[in-house]
Amino acid sequence: MSCPILPRFIDKVLVPPIKCQGIKTKLVPFILSSISWQGNGRWIEPFLGSGVVVLNVEPEKALLSDTNPYIISFYKQIQDGKMTPETVTTFLEAEGEQLRRKGEEHYYYVRDRFNDTGESLDFLFLTRSCFNGMMRFNRSGRFNVPFCRKPDRFRQAYVTKIANQIAACARAIHGKAWEFTVADWRDTLSTVREDDFSYLDPPYIGRHTDYFGQWSEQDARDLAHVSQNLPGGLALSMWKKNKYRENVHLAEYWLWAQELTQDHFYYVGARESLRNSMEEALMVTPGYVADDCSHPEQLALFEQQSASR
């Protein structure tokens, strides 16, 4: 029998080059140390988002989908070698200089250009220079986040950091059978087989996270119902509670799963009221929980390291 791919204990997280609200970067150590999976099948994510979890799991086979076509196109370009550290550096240096000289005028010029063409380099530029690192689209599918008001955003050290993240993503993807596809979560989960493991990070109920398309209470209920009947293992990331309220959806629809929790702080959000300490839940199919999944010291170490960078 081969060694299981999870659980795994890491002290340095591969941080993806694109940002979005609800990103799980600081929860990756908790997630990877809490799941037990042999790794014989595919790692499946129907809500890819930033891609931070799969990039750190690094499975040999994966099915990665999202309804946001710009996320999928972005990672396909890295996979195909069309987006490289060199092309990113050249682009961000040139556009960063224009941003420094022209300020928000250039930001909105790039935003309009992206909304007309959907170019992945423009997408990267916007996610790293928009307000609070948010990723949000209006009902017409147009990126609508305002400027962060930092004309000198793309200093050389920052450009180098992003280029290094592109390089790390390329290394993680290289040589592996990862399929990136634009798809509804229902279509993606309909392909799950017994050896697969499904990781779900859907939009959060009751929080404005409309990074592409809509997410309703009915969608959340449908996902819970489908998940309960899936073959293989499954883990769902979902907020459990903060000092203001508790997520009753978990107690109503996910009692069949084993619950693990971890305190977390969200720095990304449109308002300060959305950037608070949150108890995060990881709902895991019974039988797929790591034998010892209580590792708060590992997350505390990563939080300390992140704060010092």
Please tell me the predicted confidence (pLDDT) of residue 213.
65
- Between CA 233 and CA 204 the distance in angstroms is 21
Whether residue 15 lies inside any domain: the answer is no
Whether residue 78 lies inside any domain: the answer is no
Are 162 and 294 within one domain? no
Please tell me the predicted confidence (pLDDT) of residue 265.
64
| Alpha helices per DSSP H over the chain | 28-34, 52-57, 69-79, 85-102, 104-117, 120-129, 156-173, 185-189, 217-228, 248-253, 296-308
Please tell me the predicted confidence (pLDDT) of residue 215.
82
Are 131 and 236 within one domain? no
Residue 256 to residues 25, 155, 195, Cα–Cα distance (Å): 27, 49, 20
List the structure tokens of 300: 């505390």
**Element spanning 208, H or E:** none
pLDDT digits (tens, 9 = 90+) for 173-219: 999 999 999 999 999 999 999 999 999 999 876 554 455 667 889 99
Domain that holds residue 205: 25-67+183-308
Please tell me the predicted confidence (pLDDT) of residue 164.
98
266 has pLDDT over 70: no
Are 97 and 213 within one domain? no
For the domain that residue 215 is a member of, what is the CATH number? 3.40.50.150
Are 191 and 260 within one domain? yes
Please tell me the predicted confidence (pLDDT) of residue 292.
64
pLDDT digits (tens, 9 = 90+) for 135-173: 899 989 999 999 999 999 999 999 999 999 999 999 999
List the structure tokens of 52: 């931070």
- Between CA 232 and CA 202 the distance in angstroms is 19
pLDDT digits (tens, 9 = 90+) for 39-75: 999 999 999 999 999 999 999 999 999 999 999 999 9
Whether residue 283 lies inside any domain: the answer is yes
269 has pLDDT over 60: no
Of 108, 135, 166, which residue sits at a domain end? 166
Cα 53 to its chain centre, rounded Å, is: 7
- Between CA 101 and CA 199 the distance in angstroms is 43
Residue 28 dihedral angles phi and psi, to the nearest 5°: -55, -45
> What is the pTM assigned to this prediction?
0.88
Are 215 and 297 within one domain? yes
For residue 7, give the amino acid letter. Answer: P
Whether residue 5 lies inside any domain: the answer is no
For the domain that residue 107 is a member of, what is the CATH number? 1.10.1020.10
